[in-house]
Amino acid sequence: MVQIRMMEGNEAAAYGAMLSRVQVVPAYPITPQTELISFIAQFITEGKMKAEYIKVEGEHTAMAAAIGASAAGARVFTASSSQGIVFMEEPLWMPPGMRLPINMCIVNRSIAPTGGLRPDHNDSLLQRDTGWIQLYCENSQEVMDTIIMGYKIAENKNIYLPVATCYDGYFVSATASRVEIPEQKDVDAFLPPYEHEWYSLIPGVNKERPARGSSAKNRYEVQQANERAKKVIEEVDEDFNETFGRSYDGMIEEYNCDNAEAVLMTMGSMTGTVRDVIDDLKKSGKKIGLLKLRCFRPFPTEELQKISKKYHIIGVVDRNTSTGSAGGGIVSLELARALYHLEDRPLIANFHVGLGGTDVTPRQIEYMAEKTLGILKTGKIPEPVDWVELKDLGPVM
Q: Which of 259, 294, 300, 301 is nearest to 278 (CA)?
A: 259
Min dist. Cβ of residue 175 to another protein (A): 5
Task: Please select the residue that binds another protein; options are 29, 68, 97, 272, rule is CB under 8 A.
Answer: 272
Peptide bond before residue 210 is cis, with ω within 30 degrees of 0: no
**Choice between 204 and 395, CB closer to another protein:** 395
**Choice between 99 and 109, CB closer to another protein:** 109
* β-bridge pairing 103-108 and 52-55: unpaired
**Choice between 172 and 288, CB closer to another protein:** 172
For 292, the 3-state DSSP assignment is strand
Residue 178 interacting with another protein (CB under 8 A): yes
Min dist. Cβ of residue 200 to another protein (A): 42
Min dist. Cβ of residue 6 to another protein (A): 5
Q: Tell me the CA end-to-end span of the chain in Å, nearest whole number.
A: 40
The Cα 213–Cα 13 span in angstroms is 37
**Choice between 361 and 372, CB closer to another protein:** 361
Residue 175 interacting with another protein (CB under 8 A): yes
Task: Give the largest CA-CA distance in the chain.
Answer: 68
From 46-54, 156-164, 192-200, 268-276, span contacting another protein (CB under 8 A): 268-276
The Cα 67–Cα 69 span in angstroms is 6
Phi (first) and psi of residue 173, to 5 degrees: -60, -40
Residue 170 interacting with another protein (CB under 8 A): yes
Question: Could you say which residues in the range 50-69 bind another protein, by CB under 8 A?
Answer: none
Q: What is the DSSP string of 238-249?
A: HHHHHHHS----
Phi (first) and psi of residue 334, to 5 degrees: -65, -45
Task: Please select the residue that binds another protein; options are 161, 361, 373, 389, rule is CB under 8 A.
Answer: 361
CA angle 384, 394, 270 (to 5 degrees): 60
**Choice between 171 and 190, CB closer to another protein:** 171
Alpha helices in the chain (DSSP H): 9-19, 34-45, 59-71, 82-87, 89-92, 94-98, 122-125, 140-154, 184-190, 215-244, 270-283, 301-308, 330-339, 362-378
From 63-71, 90-98, 174-182, 232-240, span contacting another protein (CB under 8 A): 174-182
Min dist. Cβ of residue 10 to another protein (A): 12
Residue 81 interacting with another protein (CB under 8 A): no
**Choice between 116 and 374, CB closer to another protein:** 116
**Choice between 142 and 334, CB closer to another protein:** 142
Contact 62, 27 (CB under 8 A): yes
Task: Please select the residue that binds another protein; options are 133, 143, 159, 172, rule is CB under 8 A.
Answer: 172
Contact string 341-360 vs another protein (x = CB under 8 A): ------------------xx
Min dist. Cβ of residue 294 to another protein (A): 15
**Choice between 103 and 269, CB closer to another protein:** 269
Min dist. Cβ of residue 360 to another protein (A): 6
Question: Could you say which residues in the range 82-141 bind another protein, by CB under 8 A?
Answer: 116-118, 138-139
Question: Could you say which residues in the range 287-346 bind another protein, by CB under 8 A?
Answer: none
Q: Which of 137, 138, 181, 131 is nearest to 154 (CA)?
A: 131
From 79-87, 165-173, 195-203, 307-315, span contacting another protein (CB under 8 A): 165-173
What are the respective helix, strand and coil percentages of the chain, to the nearest 5? 40, 20, 40
* β-bridge pairing 295-297 and 133-136: antiparallel
The Cα 370–Cα 367 span in angstroms is 5
Min dist. Cβ of residue 170 to another protein (A): 6
Burial bucket for residue 53 (CB in 10 Å: 0-12, 13-18, 19+):
middle
Residue 393 interacting with another protein (CB under 8 A): no
Residue 33 interacting with another protein (CB under 8 A): no
Contact 257, 289 (CB under 8 A): yes
Min dist. Cβ of residue 85 to another protein (A): 18
Min dist. Cβ of residue 235 to another protein (A): 27
Q: How far is CA 324 from CA 127, 204, 388, in A?
A: 18, 52, 18
Return residues touching another protein (CB under 8 A).
Answer: 5-6, 31, 116-118, 138-139, 170-172, 174-178, 269-270, 272-273, 275-276, 359-362, 394-397
